[in-house]
Amino acid sequence: MNISVILFFLFNVLATAVLGIKFAVKRDDKIFKIFGIALILNAIAFMVWSFGLIRPENLLACVTLGTVAFLISLVFLFYISIQKIESVNIRRGLMTLGVIAVLGIFYIGHIDPVYAYISPEGYLFFNLGPLMQMLYVFILALVALPAVDLIASKFKLSYSLIFRYSLIAQVCGGIMLIISKDSQVLYVTGLIIGLVYLLLLITFIFNSKAWAKVN
C-alpha cells in the first residue's frame, strides 16, 4: 500500500465534497446546485476507489461502483453544458441521447473488460483499452468543458479565470488518470490535481469575496 496514493485519493474526496456542497447549497442558482451534485458524485467515486486501494480484494467491484458514480456525474455536467440552448424540446432530446451514450459506454466497458490493477508501487491503473480510453476522453471533454465555461461566466473576471483554468486543468488531469500507464506520470498528475484543488479551496471556500455579485 502506497500511503501517498491513499492520501491523494482521500484529499480528492474531501476537496471535491467540500466544493460540491458549497456549490450545491447555492439554492437560488440551479446551475450551481447541479454542478455541486456532480462534484459530490465525483467525491463518491473517489471514495469508492479509495476503498478499493485500501482493500485490494474488493478492487474490481470498487472500480465498477466508482465508475457508475462518475458516469452519473457526467450526465449532470451534460445537463449544464446544454443550458444555453433555448429550445426545451432540443434540450430534452439531447439529454436522452446523453443518458443513452453513458449507458452505452458502461455497457461497452463490460462486454470487453480490461481489469484494473494496483501496481507494485501502489498506483491504481484503470487499464482501459484504446476504445474505452477514446470514449472516456471524448465524453469527459465534451460535457465538462462547456459546463465549466458556463459556470465560470457567472463569476467576476478574476475569479472566473481561476475557476475556468483550474477546472480545465482538473479535466486534463482526469484524462491522464484514465489513460496513463506510467507511475511517474500519475505522480506528477496527482501533484498538479492536488495543488489545483488547494487553489480552488482557498479561492471559493475560504474567500467569501469570490461569491460577491455572482451572476
Q: Kindly list the domain boundaries of the chain, sorted by start residue.
A: 3-211
Question: In terms of residues, how long is the chain?
Answer: 215
Quote the pLDDT of residue 27. 65
* 207 SS3 class: coil
How far apart are the C-alpha atoms of 28 and 215, rounded to whole Å?
11
Reading the chain (215 residues) residue by residue, the pLDDT tens digits are 678 888 888 999 999 999 999 999 976 789 999 999 999 999 999 999 999 988 999 998 999 999 999 999 999 999 999 998 888 899 999 999 999 999 999 998 877 667 888 888 888 888 888 889 999 999 999 999 999 999 999 999 899 999 999 999 999 999 998 888 888 898 899 999 999 999 999 999 999 888 987 87
Give the contacts of 105 (CB within 8 A, at least 6 positions apart): 71, 132, 135, 136, 139
